[in-house]
Each structure stands twice: as structure tokens, then as C-alpha cells.
Amino acid sequence: MSDTYDLHNLGWHSFQQLCLTITREILGQTVESFLDSSDAGKDGAFAGTWNSVKGESLSGRFVIQCKFTSKRDKTLGKSDIADEVEKARQLVKAGRCDSYILMTNAGVSGATTESLEDLFKAAGVEHFRSFGSTWICQQIKENKRLRMLVPRIYGLGDLSQILDERAYLQAKALLASLREELSKVVLTAAYRRAAEALNKHGFVLLVGEPAAGKTTIAAMLSVGALDQWGASTLKLDTAHKIVERWNPDEPSQFFWIDDAFGVLQYESSLVHEWNHALPQVRAMLRKGAKIVMTSRDYIYNRARNDLKEGAFPLFQESQVVIDVRDLTTEEKQQILYNHIKLGKQKRAFRKAIKPHLIYIANHSRFVPETARRLSDPVFTKGLTLTDAELNDFVNKQERFLQEVITGLDADSKAALALIYMRDGSLESPVELEDSEREALERLGSGLGKCITALDSLNGSLVQFVNLEGNAIWRFKHPTIGDAYAALLLRRPEWLGIYVRGAPLDKLLGQITCGEVGLEKAVILPKTLFPLILRRLDETASVTQHKTAWLRDWHSRHRVDDFLASRCSVEFLTEYLRRHENVFERVSRPGLSLNAVSEVDLAVRLNQLGLLPEEYRERFVRTVVEYTIQGDDFYAIESRGIQGIFTPDELATLHDRVRRELVPNLADVRRNWQSNYDTDRSPDDHMQPLLDGFLQLKRTFAGNRKVIQAIDREIELANDWIADKSSEEPERDRPVRKFGDVNSPEQPIPSSRSLFDDIDE
């Protein structure tokens, strides 16, 4: 069992924290910790009654000493603790030690234990206990909560030892590319807040800047769910897939959605999917499912303008913003230590950079990704280890990464281009489209050479993973895609090759035709507009509603989203000249106005003065009719839609709502009730109506009579929901919580450098 966990990779500081957590969680003792080099021979202390695992009750003053070794399979000998014995003698003389607890990641044989006990008793210690690597690994194997409190353990051992076969297979597929990262994680305040939100709401949205550690925290929570609850854990990428894979009869499902609203840039089509799926998501959470989502901060800031947060307040309540400025000094140092210690750098590099590590960890621009790059020789080739150059490395990380990519051979550059053209996900075995094959030839490479290059880049710039049964190549970190995009803008010849070679459905999610203020987008100049127009035209089918190149993406919506959010007025003018039928379609949007793409496109065209008056008026008539009939209330809350109205039309809408809709709210409610589909829960079915009622209350906040009428219908709607819900069989929702993940120990600030053994 001593080989189950590679405890020698923890480092002295993390091993102390593990030991002190064990004393609390396993041995049931709360200890005061001493983590500095002047600890007078004790890493922890306890005064009182100790109820030991053997059943005897010991009392007095206890000293806990953690003896760490960075050597694998080290066996503890008497010479290794000679200094500790002498320190114990001094503590006994000072009346500060009655019992001595030795915890070590080294092996301790039965004979050695007896010898050590004799030595300490000769020094005056009344009671001696030792806990070696075998015992510590056994506690890790048997105690789920201990693993949750020290999540690095998941990356230091064989998961098959602690998970049942089903959960192990899931974890193996889910974390094939993340096990190495889990061995380096640090239990930060952001992780604790995320676990808290998941406990309270069953849902957490992790928001932060690139490379802040969102994916790592999501991975920790996912493994914890597998381990703690035996949850069926799925890593998916869209709202549609979550609803599709949800099983109401399996309440323990755990869903992880990385980059929920776009990987490198905001993708409005994904937000439309979420708006459409929110009723099902609410139902999933009520039935016991748990959901973790991540998003880059700048992407979420754009997404929240389109998200229907009022229908899903958990977007606000369960949001955990990961701000690297919130990382404590100790957390930054531990992150840096773990990556350097467990990275690919040789001992000579670790020894040379050791004097600079505190400076790097304290740098204002330090993020976890900084540590990862410093731990890999690919990123430090040619780096001079001086404070000045290391300052540039941390401060100008994007530039250094671009230089690394620029310095690659032609085949490696082409391999990265191929992944980028596939929007960061290249399926294996690789099958090229004709345009991609031509792009590789223009880059001076070919498929065989690219595959060889991918193998050589694996683990540094790219990684090979299995997701949902599909083998794919992807960037090791999304920031590599950022850097490649930046290089495209500086290399006109690369940009042209990319536009010609990228599959169109991927291309539309990465480019903008002209500057539209979309962060991290690849901005195409006017000279490439004709090429994009041709590519759109050459792939469009004869039917407007379906195209072969985007069946799964609901192609019409995808194109609408592109036109509405990624195109300048110059491009749109030319596109509309070729496709006048767009006006007819956007002037008659379908129901669920908050989710249909025609609305956003109509709003955009009107803002730019491109929506002819005839079609503007038809759009207004359509959404007014939806509102007055009580079919869709979105027009009275959407500023975008109201921007299409003239002031007189908007005033008329409010007047008609007051005169025609409000007196008929009872009929509207009964109509919704009569259209109830038993495949959905009653409250999910009625939620859009209740949302509309609440918006009506906000619109007529000063009219007491109208408010009373609306409140009456809300009450009756809720009564109907309660009656219908009582007809459904009651199912117990499982109580599944991680529990408190805060560590009560508050270590005394350390005067011993955490990096002391970084080069051992």
C-alpha cells in the first residue's frame, strides 16, 4: 500500500498540511501548527486528552513531528531522527512534551518502531506513536473526506484503488488529460467557495480570466463527486447535450461544462441554447443533478447581456469569480512549487531558478499558467534566469508564447494550424477536407508530417485526450489558441491560408468581418470579405432552413448569429444585397423570442440602419401580437426589441397591454394550463408565463389595480402548479454535500522557504 500514493512528490509543506489534516479528520484531534524552521522540534502541538486509535486515553502535552523525505521508497532509520530525539529531550526538560507523535512518508518497519520508541522514551517522552507511509496511504484509501480535503491526492495515486469499477472507468476517460494537473493542485479559497455553492445550489459557475485555474477547480469537483457520491460524471460542451444526456431516474448525475459560452470568444449561439434549455436545467437540479460550468470573464460579461438571468437566478447566486489577485502569497508559492517540482525541468534548472521563485510567485501578473510554462523546457528554451528576464517572462507571457510558436518548425506550425482550424478540437484519426489539405500544402507540410509533429508536441503545446468516446487533439491550454490567433493577425499569408482552409462552421465562431469590438476575435480585413461571401454561398443549400455543413448546429441560427454579432456594416450591406430574403425571415420571428436568432439579427440590422421600414413595421406587428395574445412577453422586457419600436409604437404597446392583455390574463393563464405537456414538470411549463407576469408587474409598478390583477393570476398559476405537482410520484432527492472544506488550521507564517527542497 505504501506505493499507492507518491507522497514523496508532495513537498515538505504539503506533507505537513496532510498530516495535520489527518490528525483532525482521522485521529479526531485539533492541533496548533508550527510551520516555520524555528519550530523548536515540533510541527504541531496538542494539549489535553488524546483518544488514540488503540483505545487508550492519553493526557498531557503532545508534540507532533512530520518527517518528510523526497526520496521514493525511503525507509526510516534511527540516524534520520537523531536531531528530533535531541529536540524532544529539550522539550521534555522544559515540561512541554509528555507524548510524541511522529508522522512520516518514509517506510517504518515494526522493528524500527520499537527502536524509535526506546530512543524517545530514553529522552524522557512518556508515550510515543509513529505513523509511516503504509498507515497514511491506508487512511487516504479508506477516507473519502480526507481525499476531498487534500485533492492533490487524486493525482498522486492509482484511482482504481479508491473508486469502484464504474466510477474508475468514468474518471479514467474524464481525467486522462488532467491527472498530471491534479497532482499539482492547491486547495484555494476559490475552490472552497465553489464547493460551497455546489453544496447549497447544486450548481456553480466559475468565472475568471484566462489561465486562472477554472478548469482545474472543475476537475477537482468532478473527481470529488465521483469519489464521494459515486456520481455518474459527464464532461460535455453544450446545453443541448446536457439535456440529451440527463436521466431523471439517475439523480446522482454530475455535469461539467467547460467554456460554456465559447472557448476563446463569445458565441451567442451557445447562449441561445442555454436560454432554451433553462427550464430543463431547473428540473435537473430539483431532481438532484449537479452542474459545474466555467467561462472566461470577458466572455461571460458579453454572455450575460443575452442570458435570461431572471429565469435562472443561479447564474448570479452561484457565480464564483476566480480572481488571481485573491490568491494568497502561500497559495501562489505552493502552485509554483508543485509545478516546478513535478514538471519536466531537470535538477540543474530547478537549482538555478530556486533563488528567483519567491519573486516570481509574488509578481502581480503571476497566474497558475505561469507556473506550468516554467515547468516545461519547451517554454524556457533560451530563457536567462535573471530577475529582469524572468520579469519579462511573467509580465509578457503572451509575447513569449508567440515567440515559442514562431520558432517551431514548419510541420509543428502546420499541426497547430490544423487544431486551430478545427476550433481547438481535431478528431483522431485525422481526415482532412480538401480545403484543409490545400492549407497544409501552402504551409509547407502535409498530413503525415503533421501527425508526426503532433506526437512530438504532445504534453507541451498540445495533448491527446478521449472525450465522450472520441479521441481528439487539442491545445494543452486555451491560451495557446489565443497566441495562435494573435499571430494570424500579424501574418497576412497565414490569415489567408486559415480563411481558405478552416471548416466554415468553425470559422464563423472565430472571425469577425471588420472590427465589431469582440475580444480575442480574428479580425478579417475588407480584402478578405469576398472570400467569406463566396464560402458562405458555395456551401448553402437550396433550402434556407437546412444546410449540409451545419445540420447539428442549426445552421440558420448559426449564420444569423454570425451576421448579428460578427459583421461590420460594410460586410452586412454586401451580404444583404445578395440575400434579400433575410428581411422577410427576420420580420416574422418565431415564439420564444429570447432564444430565436432572427430577433438578434433584426435588432442589429435596425441599429445599423439596414432594416427597411416595411420589414421593421412587420417585425413590430409580429411581436406586439405575441404579447397581446399572451404567447410571449419578451417584447416588454427586451431593450433590443424595444429599440426597433418608434416612441409612439412603444407607447401604443404599453397602452394595448393595459387595455387588452391585463383584463384577459385569466384566459391567458387557462390557455397555458390547457396546453400543458406531461413530459415536462408543471412549474417548468408555467415558468415563462410567470416570468412574463413579473415583467408586467415591473412595467406597471405604479398602477395598483393592474398589480392586484397580475398578483391574482400568479397566485392561481402557483395553485395549479401545486395541484399538478402533487399528482406526480414523490421521489426523495439525495442529500449529497461535500461538507465543510475549510481547514481550521491557521499556520503561523513560515520563515522556512517553501522552496527549500525544490531541487532535491
Cell (9 digits) for 605: 440590422
User: If pLDDT is split at 50, 70 and 90, which confidence band does 80 have?
Assistant: confident
Q: What's the average model confidence in pLDDT over 177-193?
A: 74
Mean pLDDT for the chain? 81
Look at residue 33 in the predicted model and tell me its pLDDT: 47
Whether the per-residue pLDDT at 650 is higher than 90: the answer is: yes
Look at residue 611 in the predicted model and tell me its pLDDT: 95
Of 583, 588, 561, the C-alpha closest to 573 is 583
Whether the per-residue pLDDT at 179 is higher than 70: the answer is: no
Q: Which of 152-166, 313-327, 460-474 has the lowest average pLDDT?
A: 152-166
Q: What's the average model confidence in pLDDT over 365-375?
A: 87
Q: What's the average model confidence in pLDDT over 431-458?
A: 88
Supply the pTM of this predicted model. Answer: 0.69
Residues 33-78 pLDDT 10s: 443 444 444 454 454 555 555 555 666 787 888 888 888 888 888 8
Rounded Cα gap, residues 454 and 462, in angstroms? 7
Give residue limits of the domains in the chain.
7-142, 158-326, 329-395, 396-502
Rounded Cα gap, residues 367 and 370, in angstroms? 5
Residues 127-143 pLDDT 10s: 888 888 888 888 887 77
Q: What's the average model confidence in pLDDT over 119-132?
A: 88
The DSSP string of 537-558 is HHH--SSSS--GGGGGGTHHHH
Task: Give the chain's length.
Answer: 760
Question: Buried b vs exposed e over 9-42: b needs ≥16 C-beta within 10 Å?
Answer: bbbbbbbbbbbbbbbbbbbebebebbbeeebebb
Place of cell 468516446: 469
Q: How many percent of the chain have pLDDT more than 70?
A: 83
Q: How many percent of the chain have pLDDT more than 90?
A: 17
Whether the per-residue pLDDT at 747 is higher than 50: the answer is: no
Contact 291, 176 (CB under 8 A): no
Cell (9 digits) for 213: 485555474
The superfamily CATH assigns to domain 158-326 is P-loop containing nucleotide triphosphate hydrolases (3.40.50.300)
**CATH fold of the domain at 7-142:** Trna Endonuclease; Chain: A, domain 1 (3.40.1350)
User: If pLDDT is split at 50, 70 and 90, which confidence band does 512 have?
Assistant: very high
Look at residue 605 in the predicted model and tell me its pLDDT: 96
Residues 579-609 pLDDT 10s: 988 999 999 998 888 878 899 999 999 999 9
User: If pLDDT is split at 50, 70 and 90, which confidence band does 728 have?
Assistant: low
Cell (9 digits) for 158: 492509482
Range 396-502 has CATH code 1.10.10? yes
